[in-house]
Amino acid sequence: MSIPSSFIDRLLSTVSIVDIINRRVQLERSGGRYKAKCPFHGDGNEKTPSFVVYEETGSYHCFACKASGNAINFLREYDGIDFMESVELLAASVGMEVPKQEKPVDLTDAISINTKATEIFKDQLKGPQGKNAVDYLKARGISGETAKFFELGFSMEKNPSLHSILSPQYNQNDLEDSGLFGTNDNGEMYDRFRDRLMFPIRNIKGEHIAFGGRLIADKDNQAKYLNSPETKTYKKKYELYGLYEARLIEKRPKSLFLVEGYMDVIGLHQYGIKNAIASSGTAFTPEQLRKILSYTNDIFVVFDGDEAGQKASWRAVENALPLLREDVRMSFIFLKPGDDPDSFIKNKGKDAFLKLADEAITFSEYFLDTIKKQDDLSSIEGRSRVAQFAVPLVDKIVNPTLREAYISEIGHICDLDFGKLLNGVINIVPENVKQEEPAKKVPVSVIRKSVLGIFTVLIQYPKLAGESFFNLIAKDSRFLFLHDVRNFYKDNPTAPPSILFEQIENEKIKNLFGEALVSEIKLSEENAKKMLNDCIDIISKSEKDRQETLKEKYNMQEITSAEKRELQQIILKKDVMSEEDQILLKNLSSK
């Protein structure tokens, strides 16, 4: 079933998001917008409201936990209901009827092609050519019932090709958009998946949006696993394999196991763990984590104990930092190298697997252990490097209580005032190292505050966009966005800030702007001007030393590969390389 997107647009412009949210969360009017303590993090114990609702754009945003969206998103997260239910609920509240099958929207073609392909693949698995794939599943202990539940299938090597079956029914452009076919040099389409066990990927509504395919027999030059490419309907960073299926069993699962592969999800299901999910065709992303957290607060990350698994787990940690809350429990299970969840549960059973979950490493243990391992804690230099490593990580934690707890713990570990270090009050580099490296750089937090200051000033006094101080910011600077913001205010001095907020694409900048929007600071015009001058001064100074800028980008993990090479060149050209330079150079070349 599908709902036309035109109906969704009409629905969202008819309902009042303020009304919808206000029935669930106490909103407070403040200027042209509404604020509240965020319902999605911190148990409502926030000191200042970080949750803002914008009537004119029909959206909400939390500047602490970054929850954001429209009325449908709000209901899905707050009421824990799915898309369809949210739409029904909203429509009912304004007396609109949800059209079940109006005209199909564009997307349905790609979905209908993928759905049709699922049926064909399923039939082929049952046919004589599917025998090897069936044997493979049997060897893994996968029953026919489980294969049916996940709609497993088989793609033919040739005769008939999927393309030959589908091309009479669909137009070529739609087939191309489905992600199921490639095009050769002669412009002919060919099946992307051939001779593979097929895993249909369903979105949260149960629609078929993509496939994963596994080779059954090893073939030279062919990847064991292949996934559909990104299409209009398949945005990899958002999708989780198995989430739809897990929710068929339990709508709001108590916990979810995040595993690496399709077969892990299916193997665990077969042996009784029916709440496993996997990212598909991509490394684990923050968007996926946010999605998981809207269905459960308890996540087990289960990765292989090998290096790739460790890397993937650490990535999960980095993604989780901004989303950490007291009520979110994230734990890690590391299997022995060579083991995967699928083989583990097949050999040792459900109870042994659940025991692993009981003994899982907590987020804080894993996080702190990894930090400690960065250097030798018995030396001052080692401890300061460990602290330095931890700064950008802890800086990502927005939950105030947890942030405080980590600051205190890392302070103990490194035997220094980590809070001051984090806020840029003391310098990161210990005295003896500092002598070799006299270059002073403006700490990230000071730069951040300066950008925040500029936003705050412009929001309160748009006319200050005309000030000539802005010309101090170079046109090739990484602060080019400040010119964009300035130009916006020059052109639209009376526009409400939420309009600009909606236009900012870069998420970090958007969040900073949002922070300025909810800022309680009220400035006199004279002070605003002074503040603007100071902030621009700091920013233009910080730009002067290219090397420091690049290092900072590196530390913030925002460096591009071209900038990495530039930084390497700068270091390599030095007559004398400090120890810090050498470490940095090694790190730059390692990734």
Residues that bind Zn ion (CB under 5 A): 38, 40-41, 62, 64-65, 67
Please identify, using beta-carbon distances, which residue of 52 and 371 lies nearer to Zn ion: 52
Percent helix, strand, coil in the chain, to 5, is: 50, 10, 35
Q: Which residue has the tokens 């090479």?
A: 565
**480 CB neighbour count, 10 Å cutoff:** 11
φ/ψ of 267, rounded to 5, equals -60, -45
| Closest distance of CB 62 from Zn ion, Å | 3
| Secondary structure tally for the chain: helices H, strands E | 27, 17
| Closest distance of CB 30 from Zn ion, Å | 17
| Closest distance of CB 74 from Zn ion, Å | 12
Helix (H) or strand (E) holding 228: none
Are the CB atoms for 262 and 241 separated by under 8 Å?
A: yes
Starting at the edge strand found earlier in the chain, the sheet holding 208-215 runs 153-155, 196-202, 208-215, 225-227
In residues, how long is the chain?
A: 591
DSSP state of 29: E
| Closest distance of CB 4 from Zn ion, Å | 32
Please identify, using beta-carbon distances, which residue of 60 and 332 lies nearer to Zn ion: 60
Please identify, using beta-carbon distances, which residue of 203 and 296 lies nearer to Zn ion: 296
| Closest distance of CB 545 from Zn ion, Å | 36
| Closest distance of CB 66 from Zn ion, Å | 7
Are the CB atoms for 48 and 518 separated by under 8 Å?
A: yes
Please identify, using beta-carbon distances, which residue of 62 and 584 lies nearer to Zn ion: 62
| Closest distance of CB 565 from Zn ion, Å | 39
Please identify, using beta-carbon distances, which residue of 43 and 119 lies nearer to Zn ion: 43
The DSSP bridge partners found for residue 198 are 153, 213
Please tell me the distance from the alpha carbon of residue 81 to that of residue 89, in angstroms, as a whole number: 10
Please identify, using beta-carbon distances, which residue of 41 and 385 lies nearer to Zn ion: 41
| Closest distance of CB 408 from Zn ion, Å | 23
**544 CB neighbour count, 10 Å cutoff:** 10
- Give the count of alpha carbons within 13 A of 468, CB side only: 0
Please identify, using beta-carbon distances, which residue of 38 and 482 lies nearer to Zn ion: 38
**DSSP state string for 50-61:** -EEEETTTTEEE
**DSSP state string for 49-107:** --EEEETTTTEEEETTT--EE-HHHHHHHHT---HHHHHHHHHHHTTPPPPSSSSPPHH
Question: Which residue type sits at 21?
Answer: I
Please identify, using beta-carbon distances, which residue of 64 and 360 lies nearer to Zn ion: 64
Please identify, using beta-carbon distances, which residue of 323 and 444 lies nearer to Zn ion: 323
| Closest distance of CB 37 from Zn ion, Å | 9
Please identify, using beta-carbon distances, which residue of 74 and 353 lies nearer to Zn ion: 74
Please identify, using beta-carbon distances, which residue of 78 and 136 lies nearer to Zn ion: 78
Bridging pattern class, strands 298-304 and 256-259: parallel
| Closest distance of CB 80 from Zn ion, Å | 16
Question: Which residue type sits at 309?
Answer: G
Integer angstrom CA distances of residue 74 from 51, 92, 214, 288: 12, 16, 37, 17
